[in-house]
């Protein structure tokens, strides 16, 4: 057998030098902050949302004076926009978590942790048919959307037909440059 070549000898020296210079790998951070462990007592737990609270957190607005929180008491049908830690406000906002949109409110001696309310959109009942206003008709110029009796409909149709005939006669007289016939008001059969 032949002796080891100088190339293998040089690679061995470089490899061992590289291992001795590398920083040691620490797994201690992974052990203390494991994602599978329960939170420790010294870490603050996530706030618990108050269920079935009478107070709602409806919104927030950033103004030049600071952030205003929109709070509403459903039992009293009362709402207000308040600043955080405002001692004069009926609702006292003590904390706000921007990441989860939770606000902690003290109201009437109780402490609530409230999420930002979401809009509730529902279908509305259909509206009644509108009453159409037509300016040139007699009887106040109003036509009900609900049909009347058969006799009323017949009189209305006759008055419309008479008005159409009158306007045709006026238009034909204007195109033939003849003297137009005297305009006669349409009768409603009265």
pLDDT, tens digit, 9 for 90 and up, residues 146-169: 555 667 888 889 999 999 999 999
Domain assignment present for residue 29? The answer is no
- Look up the domain containing 75 and give its range: 55-115
Domain assignment present for residue 126? The answer is no
Number of structural domains found in the chain: 2
Domain assignment present for residue 154? The answer is yes
Where residue 150 falls (left for φ over 0; alpha for ψ -120 to 50; beta otherwise) is: alpha
Residues 162 and 187: beta-carbon distance below 8 Å: yes
Burial of 91: CB neighbours in 10 Å, binned 0-12, 13-18, 19+: buried
What is the C-alpha to C-alpha distance for residues 40 and 160, in angstroms, rounded to an integer? 86
Please state, rounded to an integer, the average pLDDT across all residues of the chain: 76
Summarised one tens digit per residue, pLDDT across range 2-60 is 556 777 777 667 766 665 555 566 666 666 776 777 766 665 556 677 788 889 999 99
Domain assignment present for residue 83? The answer is yes
Q: Is the pTM of this model over 0.85?
A: no
């Amino acid at each position: 057998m032949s002796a080891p070549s100088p190339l293998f000898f040089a690679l061995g020296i470089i490899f061992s030098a590289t291992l001795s210079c590398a920083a040691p790998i620490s797994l201690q951070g992974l052990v203390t902050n494991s994602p599978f462990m329960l939170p420790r007592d010294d870490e603050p737990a996530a706030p618990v949302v108050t269920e079935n609270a009478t107070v709602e957190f409806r919104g927030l607005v950033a103004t030049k004076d600071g952030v205003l929180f929109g709070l509403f008491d459903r039992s009293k049908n009362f709402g207000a926009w308040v600043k955080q830690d405002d001692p004069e406000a009926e609702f006292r906002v003590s904390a706000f978590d921007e990441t989860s949109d939770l606000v902690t409110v003290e109201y009437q001696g109780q402490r609530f942790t409230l999420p930002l309310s979401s809009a509730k959109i529902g279908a509305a009942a259909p509206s009644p048919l509108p009453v159409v206003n037509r300016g040139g008709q007699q009887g106040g110029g109003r036509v009900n959307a609900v049909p009347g009796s058969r006799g009323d409909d017949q009189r209305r149709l006759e008055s419309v037909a008479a008005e159409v005939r009158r306007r045709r006669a006026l238009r034909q007289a204007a195109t033939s440059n003849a003297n137009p016939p005297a305009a006669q008001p349409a009768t409603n059969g009265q």
